[in-house]
Amino acid sequence: MKRFIPQRVFFEPDALKYPLGIKLQEKFTEMSIPIEFTTSHNRVTGIKGNTPREKYIQAKQSLVVGIRRTLKFAACKPSAHYQLPLATSCPGLCEYCYLQTTLGPKPIVRVYVNLDEILNQTLKYIQERAPDITKFEGSATSDPVAVEYLTGSLKKTIEFFAQQELGRFRFVTKFSDVDALLNVNHNEHTEIRFSLNTDTIINQYEKATASMKARLAAAGKIAKNGYPLGFLIAPIIIYDGWEKDYEMLITQLAAVLPKNINPSFELITHRFTARAKSNIQNIHPDSTLPMNEKERQFKYGQFGYGKYVYPKDSMAKIKSFFYQRLKVHFPESKIAYLV
């Protein structure tokens, strides 16, 4: 299992006032990783590179240890009520990733040391919505599993939610380093989801993430530990042989999970905006992602901007295939949505 090891680390000076900040400084010193300081985790200089791609790669290989000062959580519909900001960005190099649009040209990975303050704010949100259950999404702007071996934040957050009668936590990952989350008291209040795709898509467009075999093995571990389990099959891309490949994926998934497990499924087809296409072509000039507007249908999204999605006949074909095949292998499972 290959872990994310940053090539350089930036610390906000105040991060060293927290135990986790001190622990991380000691750890990176032991690992002989260069350490620099920055006044803010949002304004980091020193990321080198002569081209947009080089700057992007260098940012993905960097880490900032900082303090989450904004404790007003963003909404996170439809998957949850609020985002739970444990980290920002991700070391994965997925060519289609929307974070390339939202985090700018240098999406440096950030972790936050003031977890107690973040969880105190989480408790306030839970209390405000009582007696209703409040759900929090931990991976809206990051993949926290990639940095868990450094921070331990997910484990602590899972234990926090285990004690919350009215709080629920969920996150999704493309990584497989989940051993630290096993044998943790979760009280079934945390749902762990895995983002899955075919080997073809992972090998072409999801660089620096875990292989499908590793993700499936990790999902099996999580299932055996009693966590509520879910899967994103995303982005679903139509290509020569797609039905055969996705059938193989579903069959392999069914083979690794205990027979009594009924995971949830979220199905997300590939889509792109004009801005995203421009950014992708700038960062990944040789990308073969299918982004021909003439083969798509233009649609306005919930946030008011337009995007290019598969036309209705293609969507109908995708829906028919996945609903049928998932019903065969997971007859009791729920498909939350297909978009």
pLDDT score of 195:
98
Residues 6+ apart with CB under 8 A from 46: 8, 10, 36
- What is the band of 101 on the pLDDT scale with cuts at 50, 70, 90? confident
Residue 177 pairs with which residues in a beta bridge? Answer: none
Q: Where are the domains of the chain?
A: 8-338
Architecture of domain 8-338: Alpha-Beta Horseshoe (3.80)
Residues 6+ apart with CB under 8 A from 109: 4, 6, 59, 60, 62, 63, 64, 87, 88, 89, 90, 91, 142, 146, 147
Does the structure show a pLDDT above 90 at 44? no
Q: What's the average model confidence in pLDDT over 194-202?
A: 97
How many CB atoms are closer than 10 A to CB 5? 13
- The listed range with the strongest mean pLDDT (35-39, 97-101, 226-230) is 226-230
Does the structure show a pLDDT above 80 at 45? no
- What is the band of 114 on the pLDDT scale with cuts at 50, 70, 90? very high
pLDDT score of 305:
75
pLDDT score of 140:
92
> What span, in angstroms and rounded, lies between the C-alpha atoms of 292 and 27?
46
Does the structure show a pLDDT above 90 at 103? no
pLDDT score of 302:
63
Structure tokens at 297: 């249908």
DSSP string, 283-325: H-TT------GGGSEEEE-TTS-EEEE--HHHHHHHHHHHHHH
pLDDT tens for each residue of 3-43: 999 999 999 999 999 999 999 999 999 999 999 998 876 77
Q: What's the average model confidence in pLDDT over 50-72?
A: 93
pLDDT tens for each residue of 260-316: 899 999 999 999 999 889 999 999 999 999 999 999 999 886 666 789 999 999 999
Residues 6+ apart with CB under 8 A from 335: 264, 265, 266, 267, 322, 323, 326
Q: pTM of the full predicted structure?
A: 0.94
Angle at 275 (CA atoms; ends 272, 279), nearest 5 degrees: 95
CA 307 and chain centroid, separation: 21
Task: Give the chain's mean pLDDT.
Answer: 94
- Residue 275 identity (one-letter amino acid): R
Comparing 100-104, 172-176, 230-234, 329-333, the range with the smallest average pLDDT is 100-104
pLDDT score of 48:
81
